[in-house]
Amino acid sequence: MAIIGFAGLGFMGAGMAGNILKAGYPLRVLAHRNRQPIDDLVAKGAEEADNAAALGAECDIIFLCVTGAPQVQALIEGDEGIRAGARSAGRQGLVIVDCSTSEPTVTRELAASLSEDGITLMDAPLGGTPTQADAGELQAIVGGDESTLEAIRPVLESWTARILHVGPVGAGHTMKLLNNFLSMGYGAIFTEALTIGAKAGITPETFDSVIRGSRMDCGFYRTFFQYVLERDRDAHRFTLTNAHKDTRYLASLAEAMNVNAGVARAVRDLYASAEAQGDGEKFVPELSDIFAARHQTSLSQTPNTAGN
């Protein structure tokens, strides 16, 4: 069986790596800040790699699930990076699958550079939640050539419910940024709508009674409002720092495409402001409380003076 490497055992990566291990693949994992996921995987049979170079030297397929483009570049291009390890071992045919939400221009540049060393880079950013990652029910939005996709498909199937091939390398990251623009845009709209409503006397419960089950209802709405109504922080575990990063990448992409994307910039700026005030590690639905507090109101204690 192919030897699989995995770097980035966060909310999503830990579940993905666990499912690769369950499928019977030999797994090499790379530690970062949090020891618990790697200790759990090692206890189940994974081996811990000393550094990214060891992954490059030992593995056939390496999955990256890290914060963004700078972290991807460091793992691949660092002095003890994947490329250095592959070169030292004389490996040809290594496939790197970047499941991060990254910058398409960086992805395409890395792919072109890595091909000179016989290394193929695919992008396969994710759709879904940490719960779906644990259950092996994520969506992979894949950019790259068809033949490489078919070669890695059995491994992808260990942690996905759906694999979507959207185009050449970089297309997966482009589509993921568009997807996250929609979802983070919803988050920004829900946030502002709730505060406007609260100031006018409409409680979140009243708001929800109208939207839930209507054409404006959706999965993102449900997890966002699971926090708003039930105060369940684990309903939507995506940090405001990551939201800012993704909307920043999207706004930059729009600029590179000569698109005057005013809405994208406004959404980016709202998340940027939350991170700037020190709330970056809070989750996206908590933006609703942050914004409400800026306007001297609370979504958990709003009198309904406007009636139903």
Residue type, 131: T
Report the relative pairing of strands 27-30 and 4-7 from DSSP bridges.
parallel
Residue type, 299: L
Both tokens of 112, joined, read: 């072109």
DSSP-based three-state secondary structure for 261: coil
What is the C-alpha to C-alpha distance for residues 21 and 16, in angstroms, rounded to an integer? 9
Q: Residue 99 in 3-state DSSP?
A: coil
Instruction: Determine the residue type at 140.
Output: A
**Interior angle at CA 64, CA 138 and CA 120, nearest 5:** 105
Are the CB atoms for 267 and 184 separated by under 8 Å?
Answer: yes
Q: What are the backbone dihedrals phi and psi of residue 86, each rounded to the nearest 5 degrees, phi first?
A: -65, -40
The dihedral region occupied by 25, where left means phi > 0, alpha psi between -120 and 50, and beta the remainder, is: beta
Pair 68, 101: CB distance under 8 Å: yes
CA nearest 89: which of 114, 54, 49? 54
Pairing of the two strands 126-127 and 138-143: antiparallel
- Active-site residue (options: 22, 44, 176, 282): 176
Pairing of strands 61-64, 95-98: parallel
State yes or no: is 176 an active-site residue: yes
Candidates 295, 116, 117; CA nearest to 196 is: 295
**How many residues are recorded in the chain?**
308
Specify which residues 283 forms β-bridges with: 239
Q: Which pair of structure tokens corresponds to residue 220?
A: 């993102």
Q: Active-site residues: which are they?
A: 176
